[in-house]
Amino acid sequence: MIVLTDTELQEVMQAARMVPFDLRQVYLQRLAEELRGREDPLGAGLVDRVAYEVARSITWDAERTAAVG
């Protein structure tokens, strides 16, 4: 289980807005996997950075798939 502060959760939710609605579950799963695999202690800066990296990755993949589609 990953425990987030209110501030960290706000950052996760803000980054989720970038992700298409139907892919938000995938976003949360990937984010959890990324955060679980960290040796660094969680903190607002790390959660923010990883949340946006994952959101951008999913959004980019979705846009690329739609363009090829």
| pLDDT tens, N- to C-terminus, the chain (69 residues) | 888 999 999 999 999 999 999 999 999 999 999 999 777 788 889 999 999 999 999 998 776 666 665
Q: Note whether 34 and 54 are within 8 A (CB).
A: yes
pLDDT of residue 1: 80
Both tokens assigned to 4: 């987030």
**Terminal-to-terminal C-alpha distance of the chain:** 36
